[in-house]
Structure 1
Amino acid sequence: MSSSQRRIRDELLEKVEDAKWEIKYKLRLEIIDVDIINALIYHHLKDLTADEVLEYRRKFLGKDE
Structure 2
Amino acid sequence: MPGNFYTVRCPDCENEQAVFGKAASTVPCAVCGTTLATPTSGKAVFEGEVLDIVERRERTDTIAGESEAQ
- TM-score tier (shorter): under 0.3
TM-score by length of 1: 0.23
More strand by share: 2
TM-score by length of 2: 0.23
More helix by share: 1
> Which one scores higher on RCO, CA 8 angstroms, separation ≥ 6?
2
Q: Which has the higher Rg, Structure 1 or Structure 2?
A: 2
